[in-house]
Amino acid sequence: MIVSATMSKPAKSVVDELGKNYCKIRFFYDAEKQRYDAEFFTEKQAFQKVFSVEEFASFMEKHKGSTFKNVVERSESEIITTLANKKGKITVLRQNCSALDKAIAMGGSGNKNLNRKKNYIIAEGKAVPFLVELGVMTKTGEVVKAKYDKFRQINHFLTFIDDVYTELEAAHKKLHIADFGCGKSYLTFAIYHYLHEIKKLDVEIFGLDLKADVIEYCSALAEKLGYSDLHFAVGDISKYTKSDDIDMVITLHACDTATDYALSYAVSHNARVILSVPCCQHELNAQFDKNKAEISSLFAPLMKYGIIKERFSALVTDALRAEYLEKAGYGVQLLEFIDMEHTPKNILIRAVKSSRKAVRSEKDMTQVHSLESALCITPTIQGLLA
């Protein structure tokens, strides 16, 4: 079963109970371990928590229809939606599951075509130690149904690594990779496994994150798995100054300008490859608000509606990042990372060092500066890579 619960605004009862201002929670039932694995989302971060069956039932009984104005429960047989209006009136809607709905609820697929195993880089059916430890696989190599989306995401990201493999292999030396904002490091472990265990390359990977408890967990897991060249440390991307050579920089969902500092680090250290999935691009949105009187009237329709302005600012942010990376001598592509149904933050910036000095000429950059001037913006990436 999958349960998704959304609140209109952070509720004090949840803040007191969980210690965070959560705006969305997703629960996945793990039948093997008889528990619910929960993902809690704030505006900028995601957190994990484990509930026993009893704790989950108590938590939902306490908050459904009050704290949570919208709760969707997907089981094998039906979808139950609980809605509450401003006056506290609760409406419960029940709908029989389609084959696809059943597949979503069970983390798999609902027909013969969807049931066929995918040709993943990390295949199902054979246990992979780091995936077992992270709760994605069982000891027999089966993918945990509630973690199937994570399994797909890991494999999807590895296809991007596979696409740039020739660039990395051409180094003919020990590879050095930095993962900024590594979080719980599903993908960090996956990259190490792929390059070291599957491709047999000599590789050292360094993960950096602000959360000390997460780094402690990742360090202990790397030691347990015997990944001697996988290291983790607590630190701020904007203040990271280690001067070693770097071959690839990865940054996944680093918030706001943290992505810019990671890109700047990659460029200044001549990284051969950059893979970045930006997140929470608030900087330009704030500048739009501050300078709205000076912004060209041509953009008025894009500034009128909050949600459109926010998305527009995110697109402008990433477009400018791509332009400045090209100016720095990289061939850049903007690609879809994962399906929109999972997250709206789905643009991946893939940059590969070009043999040419600069992909973008000064003439091309005139267009970039004209856009910045028309929007009255000064993005962080401009100052870092100008």
* pLDDT for the residue 109: 42
* pLDDT for the residue 296: 86
State how far the alpha carbon of 272 is from the alpha carbons of 111, 269, 383, in Å.
Answer: 42, 9, 22
Residue of 328 and 84 predicted with greater confidence:
328
Q: 182 is written with which tokens?
A: 């590594």
Given a contact cutoff of 8 angstroms between Cβ atoms, the answer to whether 68 and 61 are in contact is no
End-to-end CA distance of the chain: 50
State how far the alpha carbon of 1 is from the alpha carbons of 27, 115, 168, 272, 339, in Å.
Answer: 8, 18, 41, 43, 21
Tell me how far apart the alpha carbons of residues 24 and 6 are, in angstroms, rounded to a whole number. Answer: 5
Given a contact cutoff of 8 angstroms between Cβ atoms, the answer to whether 312 and 287 are in contact is no
Which residue intervals of 226-297 are DSSP H helices?
Answer: 258-268, 283-290
Tens of pLDDT, residues 107-119 = 444 444 444 456 7
Tens of pLDDT, residues 204-262 = 999 999 999 999 999 999 999 999 999 999 999 888 887 778 999 999 878 888 899 99
CB-based burial, 26-52: b 16+ in 10 Å, e otherwise: bbbbeeeeebbbbebbeeeeebeeebe
Residue showing tokens 């026993």: 52
Tens of pLDDT, residues 327-358 = 999 999 998 876 434 445 578 999 998 866 55
Tell me how far apart the alpha carbons of residues 244 and 241 are, in angstroms, rounded to a whole number. Answer: 9
Q: Binning pLDDT at 50, 70 and 90, where does residue 5 land?
A: low
